[in-house]
Copies of this chain bind each other. A is one copy, B any other.
Amino acid sequence: MLRHLLRPNDAKIVMLVLDGLGGIRSAEFPRTALEQARTPNMDSVAAAGLCGRSLPISHGITPGSGPAHLALFGYDPLAPEHDIGRGVIEVTGAGFRLKDNDIAIRGNFATVDGKGVLTDRRAGRLPHEESVRVCALLQENIGDIDGVEVIVMPVMEYRFGVVLRGKGLSPAVEETDPQLTGKKPLQPVALDKASERTRDIIIEFIKRAEKALANEPKANALLLRGISRMPALEPFGERYGLEAAAIASYPLYRGIAGLCGMKVIETGSSVEEEFETLRSAYSGHDFFFIHIKKTDSYGEDGNLGGKARIIEEVDARLSMILDLEPDVLIITGDHSTPCAMKSHSWHPVPFVINSTVCGRDDTEEFSESGCDRGALGVFPATKIMELALANAGKLKKHGA
């Protein structure tokens, strides 16, 4: 229903996503990180804008990073055709351009003892440089398998990606990670007839890889997960009539943005570097997704001070975005990661949108409690893109 309403113009939209932004108050943490952080700039955006709480999937449903970002980008995260496998996210995030029928796999380098029993599922958190070397070793030694091209790539530290490219492949093969040390890696199991050939190729791949890695001190085994194929996502640019750019330092988020068809721009890992990248890319695009990872990481660690500090750092540098005078600015998270829970959670996420036509509510503080009083109330995250387009003047009236 949306596409016929599109009315392209030059207005620019910036969506700033602080991963896992939302928190909850608890006995241990009487204030959330966002409540504790001094955020004068975000508070000004909230005071001049419209606030609310965005609901990534549904009340009570805790989203993973993939579904949470799909929701932010306006794709129904529960639709089966939007189910993105972890392997696809991983290799796309590493910058690899998947073809439609490629099989993508997420791998961990691991350590096994003399009997093939896992002693470390992450090969002692193998450093990235080591991973680059070991991936090259694999690439050199494995070659094609039964006419299928095998591409191995480093991703981050002990994590790598594998792509199988060839005819007659199908991704319904189970993971080989037993999730526990003290066990052997699992044998790949095909879940349907069509995936048996893929299973056989994966078995042969593991065999050749273990031979090539036999003398590695740490990375002498591998665990394969998230065996998957490209989902059929309507390209973001066509869907919304936007030239979209993604600025994210972590592979997973670069991956999801890339799968949606956004242009993924190289950037650094600090807030300042990401915001600087926005500045450089600003003239060439009209939609910007900027992703800050560390709020989520500190939330997972239960480190309220750390999470608050990152929020303060973003706030302190916010002028780098405000000075660009985007027509629409959105600040929100993909989901909540309360320090009180040390995990993702279902709680709706603080949200603010600011434009000359957003309207104003009485919220004067960008915080959970402030957003609870916002005029948008609790609303589905999948509606954020429509709100963004409307505020940018990019949507016509529906009906006469």
Binding site for B on A (CB under 8 A): 1, 5, 24-27, 53, 57-68, 77-78, 83-84, 86, 89, 226, 338, 340-341, 343-348, 356-362, 368-369, 372-380, 383, 385-391, 395-400
Q: A26-B356, A26-B357, A359-B24 are in contact. Are A62 and B369 (CB under 8 A)?
A: no
Contact A67 B398 (CB under 8 A): yes
Question: Which residues of B lie under 8 Å from residue A346 when comparing CB positions?
Answer: 387, 390, 395
Contact call A226/B369, Cβ cutoff below 8 A: no
Q: From B83, B86, B341, B395, give the contact of A61 (CB < 8 A).
A: B395
- Can you give 27 A-B contacts (C-beta < 8 A)? A1-B78, A24-B358, A24-B360, A27-B356, A59-B386, A60-B389, A60-B390, A60-B391, A62-B395, A64-B400, A65-B400, A67-B399, A68-B399, A77-B398, A78-B398, A83-B399, A226-B400, A338-B357, A343-B397, A345-B390, A346-B390, A361-B372, A362-B369, A372-B373, A372-B374, A372-B375, A375-B378
CA–CA, A63 and B64, complex, Å? 34
A362 touches B356 (CB 8 A): no
Taken together as a complex, chains A and B put the C-alpha atoms of A137 and B235 apart, in Å, by 54
State how many angstroms separate the Cβ of A319 from the closest Cβ of chain B: 20
Copy number in this complex? Answer: 2
Known: A24-B357, A24-B359, A362-B369. 5 other contacts (CB 8 A): A226-B400, A341-B357, A345-B390, A361-B372, A373-B373
**Chain B residues with CB under 8 A of A372:** 361-362, 373-375
Partner of A64, one of B356, B377, B398: B398
Q: Which residue of B is nearest A394, CB measured?
A: B60
The CA of A390 and the CA of B62, in the complex, are separated in Å by 8
Identity of the chain B residue whose Cβ is nearest the Cβ of A28 in the assembled complex = B356
Q: Which residues of B contact A390 (CB under 8 A)?
A: 59-62, 345-346
Residue in B closest to A65 when the chains form the complex, CB atoms: B400
The list of the 5 closest CB pairs from A to B, nearest first, reads A60-B386, A24-B359, A64-B399, A60-B390, A67-B399
Contacts of A64 in B (CB 8 A): 397-400
Q: Are B357 and A400 in contact (CB under 8 A)?
A: no
Name the B residues within 8 Å of A369 (CB-CB): 361-362
Determine if A398 and B357 form an interchain contact, defined as CB atoms under 8 angstroms apart.
no
Q: In the assembled complex, how far is the CB of residue A343 from the closest CB belonging to chain B, in whole angstroms? A: 8
The docked-state distance in angstroms from the alpha carbon of A27 to that of B359 is 10
Nearest CB in chain B to that of A341: its residue: B357
Q: Please state if A383 and B58 are interface contacts (CB–CB under 8 Å).
A: yes
Measured CB to CB, the closest approach of chain B to A376, in angstroms, equals: 7
Cβ–Cβ < 8 Å partners of A84 in chain B: 399
Specify which of B358, B378, B389 is in contact with A377 (CB 8 Å cutoff). Answer: B378
Nearest opposing residue in chain B for A359, CB measure? B24
Contacts of A347 in B (CB 8 A): 359
Most B C-beta atoms less than 10 A away, residue of A359, A372, A376, A388: A359
Query: For A61, what are the chain B residues with a Cβ–Cβ distance below 8 Å?
Result: 5, 386, 390, 395, 398
A233–B225 Cα gap in the complex (Å)? 37
Which residues on the B side are within 8 Å of A368 (C-beta)?
Answer: 359, 375
CB atoms of A63 and B399 under 8 A apart: yes
- The smallest beta-carbon distance between A75 and chain B, in angstroms, is 12
Whether B400 and A66, one on each chain, are in contact in the complex, defined by CB atoms closer than 8 angstroms, is yes
| Residues of the B chain whose Cβ atoms lie less than 8 Å from the Cβ of A383 | 58-60
Q: How far is the CB of A82 from chain B (nearest CB, A)?
A: 10
A300, chain B: closest CB distance, angstroms: 12
Residues of B within 8 A of A1 (CB): 78
Inter-chain contact A63/B375, CB cutoff 8 Å: no
Chain B residues with Cβ below 8 Å from A391 are 60
CA distance A362 to B368 in the complex (A): 10
How far, in angstroms, from A196 to B395 measured CA to CA in the complex? Answer: 32
